[in-house]
Amino acid sequence: MAYTDRNYGNRSGFNPRDSRPEPKALTFPAGYLKDAYLDETGDRDIRYITSFAESIGKSFSTDDKTGKSKIRAYFDTVNSIKDALFNKVISENTAMIQLAQLKSRVVGRVAKETASPFFSDFINKNIDIVVSDKALFKERLLHFRDHFEAVVCYTAEKKDRR
């Protein structure tokens, strides 16, 4: 029996990979995006940089489909859009369109199984909030960028995942 056979030479048919527990469903923290990056008083909610970001980053750390490099690449795109907008290289409308395009790109990644539905939900939920009010677009884009950066920081490298 070759090493590459499904039961790895174990004639009993037991495959240790089949005995791994099912991964638990990944969820967002309670109250996540309820007030679009703001707290009850209308100030920026620090949890998007601390506890919410840590929780989501730890969830991404258990996600076998979405590597940190992919998460980082999406963050880099959001950061580039923010920089181009704030440096007046692109208009607000162009920035909104470029940001919204990330939603379709992440759907493609999920279809190819190179990103998880949880990552897709993260991107989609945040972009929906950012583009939902044109008057608040720039402010919310900045808040999302800061939140996303913290999430990336809390996400373990693939070699460190357990």
- pLDDT band of residue 156 (cuts 50, 70, 90) is confident
Does residue 12 register a pLDDT over 80?
no
Q: What is the DSSP letter of 158?
A: G
- What is the rounded CA–CA span in Å between residue 101 and residue 51? 28
pTM (predicted TM-score)? 0.82
Assigned token pair, 103: 């939603």
What is the per-residue DSSP string for 101-138? HHHHHHHHHHHTTSS-HHHHHHHHHHHHHHHS-GGGHH
Q: What is the pLDDT of residues 19-55, one digit of tens each?
A: 444 556 789 999 999 999 999 999 999 999 999 999 9
Give the whole-number percent of the chain exceeding pLDDT 90: 75
- What is the rounded CA–CA span in Å between residue 81 and residue 104? 16
Q: What is the pLDDT of residues 91-101, one digit of tens each?
A: 999 999 999 99
